[in-house]
Chains A and B, each alone.
Chain A
Amino acid sequence: MIKALRPTEQLTTKHSVKSITLLILAIELVLVSLSLYESVFTWVMLIIGCSGVIRVIIYSQYYKHLPTIRTLNLLAVLSILGLIYSSFNESLLLIMVNLLVLACALKLMQARSQRDVYQLVSSLFFVIGCGFIFNQSIGFYIFYTLMSLILLISLACFQAPSLPIQRQCKTVLKLSLQALPISILLFLVLPHLPPLWQVPTSKSFETGLADNITPGDIAQLSQSSDLAFRATFQGPVPNPKDRYWRAIVMEDFDGKTWRTAPLRKKIQEQLKRQNKEFSPAVTGSYTEYDIMVEPTHQNWLFALDIATPNNSKSANEIWQSSNYQLISNQTLLSKYEYSVRSYPQALAHQRFTQIDQRLNLDVPESGNKKTQSWVAFQRKLKPSDDEFIQAVLRYFTQQPFVYTLRPKLMLSDPIDTFLFENQAGFCSHYASAFAYMLRLGNVPARVVTGYQGGELVKENNQAPYLSIYQYDAHAWVEAWTEQRGWQRFDPTALVAPDRIEFGLQQAMQDEGSFLADSPFSLARMSNVAWLNNFRLFLADLDYDWSRFVLGFDDTKQKDLFKLILGKVTPDRLSLLGLGIISLVALLLCLFFLPHWLKNRMDTTQRLYFKALDVFESAGTIRPNWQAPLSFSEDIQQQYPATISNPFTQITQLYLRIQYQDTNKHKHSVLNTKRTHKLMRNHLQKLKKEIIKNNKSPL
């Protein structure tokens, strides 16, 4: 009768359990590799897709046979060859990541045993870890956390196949939530060691500014709305027209391309070896700010002119070059924060060395004849440097120059073509032409690239900060005159004042070329109010994330300790450690206390529940309303007598203690202690039999 009431139980077979787990793993692999779409080769992606499809087919039982080992070996050999071929052009890291993902995909295609599943799960955790090399934003963090949870769920499915998926999810979520406070604590207090190994880099990872510019070769400047860096100001934020973020100074020009002077590099290396750091003469008022730069895989840092590191940590990690660049000692593989102080007036008061002079007057003899003659003519008219510079600038304002992101190609004599024919270009064209003209006129000049502008974000109770995006990249000119020292000139500002005052988007409104190659970029739609708010909210979130989570390094940790302890002494530090440990212990207690309390219920109940647990781990779960006797009848039907007999005995003893009239049977029934002993004996027997029964391979 009771049986009639019970819903039909669907005991999943062991085979389908594994295929569910593997299906989840396949989905996981596909998703994680999609998140690495920039790093994973297309053909590897295809193989991953195939492995996913194979798993789906096997799960749906449309086709039941895995690919043969021979097929897979062939595929593996071919893939290795493919990877070796790619390794000529790509960096080692990329190849290794592809190898890992590929291995996972191949394993997935032929996974059958328990070991395969475990291998796959751990490899996928590693792939997720690799994901963090490439993506560190909060969105990806959430995504990878989700992926890790799914991995854990798949593991849970594999371990306790008979539980419904909802319960698996609940268990995993519960465990993860319990792990969360502990991991936060550990994140805050564990020492943040410098990386033990470095990721090999290559050109393909570098983002942001290039170390040379060849304006004539570019027909369309590609832009990106990716964040370049953020600057948080302690004091007032400089005006838009003063926001020139210096990154790279280019002093070597061959008629087409501007690049950093090799001599400068050599000198720098020499100085670095002797540990003689250049420090500029600083005068006048200054602004202080912190910069959080996105990983660029380069060493350039960004700062307003003229900057010096503001604290000892930044001073240790930043090298100052004699052309006022800031260069990080470490390649920027992850977000990096530094603190600087800028002296806007100091540029005019710098020393002008022989080397400066030599480098900044050097022009190629050949090419650009028209420009050469034009400059020679002007120079004759205007003997003073100042007047000459003004005359050149006037040329830009008087001629119908146009600012465009889609200039025509200028392959031969690019500066002639630009100045006298096309008269249309973007900042690099203007800067390059202007610097060239000054050098021809015997005025030392150089091109500086970096960023110009930035989006101001002001929160009520936070320091204001500027977000500088990749599309804010800019190039301008520095020229030296006897009277005024180094001076910044921006010919672009004369042609397109909007570019400097309001940013690129404003300047490009007519042309419509702002972020033309990324039509769905949120930055492109900033005229829609709520979208813009949303974008700023995202930017803000990302900012806080970088600042407080990614930027939490050992100095911040020390500050935190100081905040808690007042003064960092070994005694207090060990006290803090003890406190943390006991806090973790307390959290663990909170988790285990219910279990301990449960264990403290009476022995009879506990022994019976143990027996139930044995069956639960074997895949048979008592529906939680089923009474003991009918459950033992079920067990008799499902299991061989060797297993069901001890359980029947346990059930009988349990019923006797729980429900029989103890007073009436005082003399006849065994006393409670002996009954418990009997139950224990039967439990041992039951466990042994279950293990024996489970030995049959999966």
Chain B
Amino acid sequence: MNENPLSNATNTISQVLIGKPKQVKLALTCLIADGHLLIEDLPGMGKTTLSHTLAMVLGLQYSRIQFTSDLLPADMLGINIFDNKEQEFRFHPGPVFSQLVLADEINRASPKTQSALLEAMEEGQVSLDGKTHLLPKPFFVIGTQNPQHQSGTYPLPESQLDRFLMRIQLGYPNKEAEKSMLTAQIGDNKTIIKPVMPLNHFIQAQESATKIHASDELLNYILALVTHSRESNQFANPLSPRATKALLSAAKAWAYLNNRDYLIPEDVQAVLPSVAEHRLRSASSDFSTQGSLSQILLEAIDPIAL
């Protein structure tokens, strides 16, 4: 398989978001798998930078919605305004009509606004006053949220978390990365970033990712993982069939990024924490174990003895 241009994308983004190659790769994986991404972390960890850079690298139309508790659905989706000249209502699209929407601090908005966005994410269209407005293609939402326990947040319900293909956490960079971040020419970065490929190439990449071969053994592995989450009594919320599909497509995208045209168990293991962690809920009320639910799942299944 030829060197695909998306590998360049990883490198380019890593120049901006220093020291986070894994997260960058996962974010790209999510977009290749045509899924929405949820980034959860504390303020100032580079959530916005990551999403903005992604948009620029892929040459996507980008808009950002800052979610606040008084943000109304109309502020986001758009509004019908009566045009005096034409004597009719004209639709003024809101910021959601972009190829990549950064929904910043999504858990600060009221549930009503949250669900309006999540509906748009699922349907790929916006219905307003009986008229349907199609969203652009491709359409990605990168939601960022602060950790649940911060004040002034409305936690996303499980049903809506499920709409996000992946959830990643950025975490603190290590010392060297942070140092090189300080010495780098801040501000210049954004100007030097140019799209690594035309948009239609990206859409082609998405298509070829779906065609990656998944052998019987591998499908069995995915099924074993999912089944275990349902049969084990450790998980209050097991993985849904939607999660199964998400796991497969994310693994395929990961394999695509690794220039392989077939899936191996490592692909599944690599994406499982980001795909499954936010969909699982521990059966025990002990919160200290929640951080590693997907790890528990991984360790329960032997990938090669299937």
Known: A2-B270, A608-B304, A627-B303. A661 touches B298 (CB 8 A): no
Shortest distance between the CB of A605 and any CB in chain B (Å):
7
Q: Map CB proximity to A onto B212-226 as digits: 1 under 8 Å, 0 otherwise.
A: 010101100000000
Q: Map CB proximity to A onto B257-281 as digits: 1 under 8 Å, 0 otherwise.
A: 0000111111001100100000000
- Using CB atoms, name the residue of chain A closest to B301: A625
CA distance A5 to B265 in the complex (A): 14
Instruction: Tell me whether A661 and B265 are in contact (CB under 8 A).
Output: no
Tell me the A638-657 residues at the B interface (CB within 8 Å).
655
Known: A5-B295, A664-B213. A659 touches B262 (CB 8 A): yes
A617 adjacent to chain B (CB < 8 Å): no
Shortest distance between the CB of B130 and any CB in chain A (Å):
48
- Using CB atoms, name the residue of chain B closest to A654: B304
Tell me the B195-250 residues at the A interface (CB within 8 Å).
213, 215, 217-218
Instruction: Tell me whether B217 and A2 are in contact (CB under 8 A).
Output: no
- Using CB atoms, name the residue of chain A closest to B297: A625
For residue B215, which residues in chain A have a CB less than 8 angstroms away from its CB? 658-661
For residue A664, which residues in chain B have a CB less than 8 angstroms away from its CB? 213, 261
Instruction: Tell me whether A660 and B22 are in contact (CB under 8 A).
Output: no
Find A629's partner among B22, B264, B299 (CB 8 Å cutoff): B264
Instruction: Tell me whether B270 and A655 are in contact (CB under 8 A).
Output: no
Find B273's partner among A5, A625, A659 (CB 8 Å cutoff): A5
A497 adjacent to chain B (CB < 8 Å): no
A623 adjacent to chain B (CB < 8 Å): yes
Instruction: Tell me whether A625 and B302 are in contact (CB under 8 A).
Output: yes
A77 adjacent to chain B (CB < 8 Å): no
CA distance A299 to B8 in the complex (A): 96
For residue B270, which residues in chain A have a CB less than 8 angstroms away from its CB? 1-2
Instruction: Tell me whether A655 and B304 are in contact (CB under 8 A).
Output: no
B300 adjacent to chain A (CB < 8 Å): yes
Instruction: Tell me whether A659 and B269 are in contact (CB under 8 A).
Output: no
Known: A629-B266, A630-B266. A659 touches B218 (CB 8 A): yes
CA distance A655 to B265 in the complex (A): 9
CA distance A32 to B248 in the complex (A): 59
A344 adjacent to chain B (CB < 8 Å): no
For residue A390, which residues in chain B have a CB less than 8 angstroms away from its CB? none
For residue A569, which residues in chain B have a CB less than 8 angstroms away from its CB? none
Known: A608-B304, A660-B213. A623 touches B266 (CB 8 A): no
Shortest distance between the CB of A689 and any CB in chain B (Å):
23
Instruction: Tell me whether B213 and A625 are in contact (CB under 8 A).
Output: no
For residue A605, which residues in chain B have a CB less than 8 angstroms away from its CB? 304
CA distance A664 to B262 in the complex (A): 11
CA distance A2 to B267 in the complex (A): 10
Shortest distance between the CB of A442 and any CB in chain B (Å):
93
Tell me the A609-653 residues at the B interface (CB within 8 Å).
623-630
Instruction: Tell me whether B217 and A625 are in contact (CB under 8 A).
Output: no
- Using CB atoms, name the residue of chain B closest to A605: B304
Tell me the A654-698 residues at the B interface (CB within 8 Å).
655, 658-661, 664
Known: A625-B302, A627-B304. A660 touches B262 (CB 8 A): yes
Shortest distance between the CB of B95 and any CB in chain A (Å):
34
For residue B304, which residues in chain A have a CB less than 8 angstroms away from its CB? 605, 608, 627-628, 658
Task: Give the bracket for the number of chain B residues in contact with chain A.
Answer: 20 to 34
For residue B262, which residues in chain A have a CB less than 8 angstroms away from its CB? 659-661
Known: A2-B269, A5-B298, A627-B269. A661 touches B303 (CB 8 A): no
Tell me the B286-306 residues at the A interface (CB within 8 Å).
295, 298-305
Find B266's partner among A2, A608, A658 (CB 8 Å cutoff): A2
For residue B302, which residues in chain A have a CB less than 8 angstroms away from its CB? 624-625
Shortest distance between the CB of A132 and any CB in chain B (Å):
44
For residue A2, which residues in chain B have a CB less than 8 angstroms away from its CB? 266, 269-270
Tell me the A598-612 residues at the B interface (CB within 8 Å).
605, 608
CA distance A598 to B303 in the complex (A): 16
CA distance A660 to B214 in the complex (A): 8
Tell me the A368-425 residues at the B interface (CB within 8 Å).
none
Shortest distance between the CB of B90 and any CB in chain A (Å):
49
For residue B303, which residues in chain A have a CB less than 8 angstroms away from its CB? 625-628
CA distance A623 to B304 in the complex (A): 11
For residue A627, which residues in chain B have a CB less than 8 angstroms away from its CB? 264-266, 269, 303-304
Instruction: Tell me whether B265 and A1 are in contact (CB under 8 A).
Output: no
Shortest distance between the CB of B248 and any CB in chain A (Å):
13
CA distance A659 to B258 in the complex (A): 15
- Using CB atoms, name the residue of chain A closest to B213: A661
Shortest distance between the CB of A674 and any CB in chain B (Å):
19
For residue A624, which residues in chain B have a CB less than 8 angstroms away from its CB? 302, 305
CA distance A608 to B269 in the complex (A): 20
CA distance A626 to B218 in the complex (A): 14
Listed residue (B213, B217, B264, B273) with the most chain A CB atoms within 10 angstroms of its CB: B264
For residue A629, which residues in chain B have a CB less than 8 angstroms away from its CB? 264-266
Shortest distance between the CB of A224 and any CB in chain B (Å):
57
Tell me the A457-516 residues at the B interface (CB within 8 Å).
none
Listed residue (A627, A630, A660) with the most chain B CB atoms within 10 angstroms of its CB: A627
For residue A625, which residues in chain B have a CB less than 8 angstroms away from its CB? 298-303
Shortest distance between the CB of B263 and any CB in chain A (Å):
6
Find A659's partner among B264, B295, B299 (CB 8 Å cutoff): B264
For residue A660, which residues in chain B have a CB less than 8 angstroms away from its CB? 213, 215, 261-262
CA distance A5 to B39 in the complex (A): 20
Instruction: Tell me whether A661 and B217 are in contact (CB under 8 A).
Output: no
Known: A623-B299, A660-B213, A661-B213. A628 touches B269 (CB 8 A): no
Instruction: Tell me whether B261 and A661 are in contact (CB under 8 A).
Output: yes
Shortest distance between the CB of B105 and any CB in chain A (Å):
27
CA distance A31 to B305 in the complex (A): 43
CA distance A658 to B266 in the complex (A): 13
Shortest distance between the CB of A647 and any CB in chain B (Å):
14
Find B217's partner among A1, A623, A659 (CB 8 Å cutoff): A659
CA distance A659 to B216 in the complex (A): 8
Q: Map CB proximity to B onto A12-49 as digits: 1 under 8 Å, 0 otherwise.
A: 00000000000000000000000000000000000000
List A residues at the B interface (Cβ < 8 Å).
1-2, 5, 605, 608, 623-630, 655, 658-661, 664
List the 9 closest A-B pairs by CB distance, nearest first: A661-B213, A627-B265, A624-B302, A625-B299, A660-B262, A659-B215, A627-B303, A627-B266, A629-B266
22 A-B interface contacts by CB (under 8 A): A2-B266, A605-B304, A608-B304, A623-B299, A624-B302, A624-B305, A625-B298, A625-B299, A626-B303, A627-B266, A627-B269, A628-B264, A629-B266, A630-B266, A655-B264, A659-B213, A659-B218, A659-B264, A660-B213, A660-B262, A661-B262, A664-B213
Task: Other than A627-B303, A628-B303, A658-B304, give 18 A-B pairs with Cβ distance below 8 A.
Answer: A2-B270, A5-B273, A605-B304, A624-B302, A625-B298, A625-B300, A625-B302, A625-B303, A626-B303, A627-B269, A630-B266, A655-B264, A658-B215, A659-B215, A659-B262, A659-B264, A660-B261, A660-B262
